[in-house]
Amino acid sequence: MPSAHIHPDNASRVASVRTPGLRYFDTPPFDPPNPVYLAVETLFRTLGLDRARAGSPEWNPLGDVIAPGDRVIIKPNFVSSRNLHEKIEGRKLQASSTHGSLLRPVLDYALRAAGPRGRVRVVDTPVEGCEIDKVVGPLGVRALLADLRSRGNDVDFIDLRYFHLEPRFALDDVRWQGRSWNLGMLVREKLPGDPRGYRMVDVGERSRFEDHLAPFDRLCFHRSHRSTPRVHHARGRHEYGIPGTVLDADVIINLPKLKTHKKTGVTLALKSFIGLSHEKYWLPHFTAGHPGVGGDEYDRAQDASDRAENLLSRVPLPLGHSLVARAPKFSAAPKVIDGSWQGNQTLWRTILDLNRAILFADRSGRVCDSPQRRYLAIVDGIVAGEGEGPLGATPVDAGLLVAGRDPALVDWVAATAMGFDPSLIPMINEALGGKLLRTGVLDDLEAVADGPSFERAFRPPRSWPRLLPR
């Protein structure tokens, strides 16, 4: 619960800062002054944090969110090092995952606010196939944390997954006859996991699936774990796995990337909470079938060749391993599978349920009527992503940061900055009107900006034509 001296008087304010030409600073540990550090400080001032002491040595901007002695988790976006056959490196990695030079000022000010009695941890639960060292290493995160610890700071990164899938391929992106040939296994390997254990949160009748028209026995995860969500969803019961480190936190600082997404239109603050659940296979991502039979898995009925290709792409094996056999065409337009289109009426419900579970559940996992932890989102669009996101996004040098305390309002402002109409994105629209947080009311939104708007609209996924400019 908020501490007595924390004053959320700007809970409906969303700040955006744009610096044309802004780039990530290259060299760990990213000591100030550097342009990214200065942009984050400008963002905090624009948001009005610790306004009375801004510009003085005593300025403590995150002290408006973090009390001395608090347990703080900082949730970056460490997604993956590959997208099917394509390795994600260089600028594409910068467009999909959080860079160390953005993390540095957030860590510095979080450590200042929490003080010596506090605890600050960087945490994430990437997709099961993420080779985490191939993400955090090139982005300077490992070197940054090692340097901060060498200066006496109690800070670390915790991979909250209890397992990951190790790729072992005989053919890995072998290019022949216009296709990428891939054949091998994803081998399940145990990880240390969350030192504080794991808990189950049942959002019950508060779930957004309570008004879902499709039967719960058609809710699906991807391919080899297709039916797993159905065990955890029934009328009045909707279960989500949440790591103990998340539920034990007093404060969550969320650092999502600014990207498009084939299933939800965009991925910003709300969607980022998928990365705070360790049980990904419990999460409904689509409803089986096409609209003609009440589903949103596909945009149309599938023929025999479609069904065969979908089946062979990833086949479950004993002990949690999987067989992978893929040969996608390079030039082929992406097909609508697994709910990857604007007709998806399932995943946004999962996302809003997770926001409810993580913000409102107490440390035991009981969902309360009021938020149980303080929250700040900082959306990173310094290098953003457009097109076939999240993993296949094309990098965009946007030079943009957006921050606020209400994730629905933050997402509204960020999606608007991308040139989209947020009212056409169910994930955002369905979180407003106080449906998630009481502050999420558009009439109360105070949007403040520093710097010029981005010059053009982002390119949406091809399966989201409704987001194209009119």
| pLDDT tens by residue, 353-407 | 999 999 999 999 999 999 999 999 999 999 999 999 998 899 999 999 999 999 9
Mean pLDDT across 67-81: 94
- Residue 84: name the closest of 176, 159, 184, 164 by CA: 184
| pLDDT tens by residue, 231-244 | 999 999 999 999 99
Mean pLDDT of the chain: 93
Q: Is the pLDDT of residue 4 over 90?
A: no
Rounded Cα–Cα distance for residues 223 and 158 (Å):
28
Q: Is the pLDDT of residue 3 over 60?
A: no
- Taken in order 100, 102, 107, 108, is the CA torsion positive or negative? positive
Q: Which of 83-97, 210-224, 245-259 has the highest mean pLDDT?
A: 245-259
Tokens of 16: 């955006």
DSSP state of 450: E
Strands (DSSP E) contained in 48-138 are 71-75, 82-83, 86-87, 119-124
Q: How confident is the model at residue 1 (pLDDT cuts 50, 70, 90)?
A: very low
Rounded Cα–Cα distance for residues 398 and 384 (Å):
6
- Residues contacting residue 243 through CB under 8 Å, at least 6 positions apart: 123, 125, 160, 194, 196, 197, 198, 199, 276, 278
